[in-house]
Structure 1
Amino acid sequence: MGTSVRGEPRGFLPDLIDWLEAPLAGLRPAVGQAIRFEDYVLDGRYVLRAELPGVDPDKDVEITLAGGVLTIRAERQHEEKDEHRSEFRYGSLTRSIALPPGTDDRDVKAVYDRGILEVSVKLAEDKQEGRRILVGHTSGKPQKKD
């Protein structure tokens, strides 16, 4: 834990908050940190909003869609320097989510604005309803086996 020029503890509270939000993060495989996100359906599109502050979407973000699974990968490098101290954060972030049935993987849009990546995928307009299966009846006589 570092201290600022005035002797105030720095870094303790953010570290504590990170630990409380993901206490077992150190036990995960080293494939990267998970990306926080929210998802919902709006105007016939499945929308996923991912929190990715401090990344350059042109260089640091990769979005893939295969087999009905949307994967977001990002590399973050952030450095702050002032006269008396410096601080940096870096690492890879990744998250995969299965898309709901009926998404159109040919109509995918992604927009990045102020640290939020928004990916939307069109949902099929004609939702296929389940169909009822009729059950046949036998004559009540035992069937002979050959």
Structure 2
Amino acid sequence: MATVARRTPSPVAEMLEWLGSSSPFHTPFDVHNVGLAPFVRVEDYIEDDSYVLRAELPGIDPEKDVEVTVEHDMLTISGERREETKDKNHREFHYGAFKRAVALPAGAKTDAITASYDNGVLLVRVPLGTEEASSVKIPIQRSE
């Protein structure tokens, strides 16, 4: 059974989430596309003695465009999005650097972290135990 991971949210991230939600004060535009850095939506939870983080990263190449690192007790997803869509009368670019950092729960085993990418979702699994966190770069595997 999965349990929700407790973390202290960023006030800025909460405000952006609120502005982008369907609140009574919702504006007709998406606040994530008005000159702000690209936003990475994540969900995280504890499942089977592991901390699990899922990040929405559609339209990227995980080998070239994303880096997952751990330093001390912070898991960081960073990279750059480059996407172009075009049709007969319209062309649109989506690009820019992104970065999202999340505090790891106590006892995270940073030497055993795994990351995979499938259908636009990055899945990071961090086994939990009693180990201290250190600085690590995690390779991302593409699902075929």
**TM-score, normalising length: structure 2:** 0.66
Q: Does 1:59 align with 2:71?
A: no
**CA offsets 1:62-82 (integer angstroms, 9 cap, x no match):** 011011110000211111122
Equivalent-residue separation in structure 2 for 1:89 and 1:98 (angstroms):
28
Q: Which runs of 5+ in 2 are unaligned?
A: 1-26, 132-144
Q: Which runs of 5+ in 1 are unaligned?
A: 1-14, 127-146
Quick check: 2:108–2:130 contact (8 Å CA) kept in 1? no
Query: Displacement, 1:16?
Result: 3.3
Q: Does 1:33 align with 2:45?
A: no
Equivalent residue, structure 2, for 1:76:
81
1:18 to 30, 33, 46: 30
Alignment size in residue pairs: 105
Equivalent residue, structure 1, for 2:114:
109
Ranges of 4+ aligned residues in structure 1 off by more than 2 Å: none
Query: Displacement, 1:34?
Result: 3.3
Query: Displacement, 1:50?
Result: 0.4
Equivalent-residue separation in structure 1 for 2:99 and 2:30 (angstroms):
17
Q: What SS is found at the alignment partner of 2:43?
A: strand
Equivalent residue, structure 2, for 1:47:
52
Q: What SS is found at the alignment partner of 1:96?
A: strand
Equivalent residue, structure 1, for 2:135:
none
Aligned positions of 1:126-141 closer than 5 A: none
Equivalent-residue separation in structure 2 for 1:46 and 1:83 (angstroms):
45
Equivalent residue, structure 2, for 1:90:
95
**TM-score, normalising length: structure 1:** 0.65
Structure with more contact order per residue of length (Cα contacts < 8 Å, sep ≥ 6):
2
Letter in structure 2 aligned against 1:42: E
Letter in structure 2 aligned against 1:92: A
**CA offsets 1:53-112 (integer angstroms, 9 cap, x no match):** 111000000011011110000211111122222111111111001100011011100010
